Amino acid sequence: MFSIKMRAAQNGKHLSGAECLLPDGADIPAHSNALLARALDHSRGAPDEIHLTLRAVESAAVVSLPALPVREIRAATPAAGRAAAVKILAELGVPDADLLWEKFRSTYALRGAMLLNIDTGERLEPNPERGIRATCLDAADTPPAARQHKNHFREALILATKVADAPGVVAEICVSDDPDYVAGYVASRASGYVRVTPLKERGSADGGRIFLFRGDAATAARCVEYLERTPVLVRVQS
Q: Which residues bind ligand PML (CB under 6 A)?
A: 152-153, 156, 174, 176-178, 181, 183-185, 195, 207
Residue 223 binding partner per list ligand PML, Mg ion, none, with a CB distance cut-off of 5 to 8 Å that depends on partner kind: none
Name the minimum Å distance from CB 17 to Mg ion.
9
Q: What's the closest the beta carbon of residue 96 comes to Mg ion, in angstroms?
A: 27
Report the residue number whose CB is nearest to ligand PML: 176
Residue nearest to Mg ion (CB): 177
d(C-alpha 42, C-alpha 56), whole Å: 28
Q: Cβ closer to ligand PML: 181 or 213?
A: 181
How many residues sit close enough to Mg ion to count as binding (CB under 5 A)?
A: 1
Minimum distance from residue 159 beta carbon to ligand PML (Å): 8
- Name the H helices within the chain: 28-40, 78-91, 100-104, 152-164, 217-229
Binding mask 164-193 for Mg ion (x = CB under 5 A): -------------x----------------
d(CA 77, CA 224): 35
To ligand PML, the closest distance from the beta carbon of 120 in angstroms equals 27
Element (H, E) at 196: strand 192-197
Residue 104 site contact among ligand PML, Mg ion, none (CB < 5 to 8 Å, cut-off depends on kind): none
Antiparallel, parallel or unpaired: β 63-66 and 232-235: parallel
Q: Mapping DSSP to helix (H, G, I), strand (E, B) and coil, where does residue 37 land?
A: helix
Do residues 187 and 172 touch, judged by C-beta distance below 8 A?
yes
CB 189 within 8 A of CB 165: yes
Between 22 and 67, CB nearer to ligand PML:
67
**Kind and range of the H or E element at 20?**
strand 13-22
What residues line the site for Mg ion (CB under 5 A)? Answer: 177
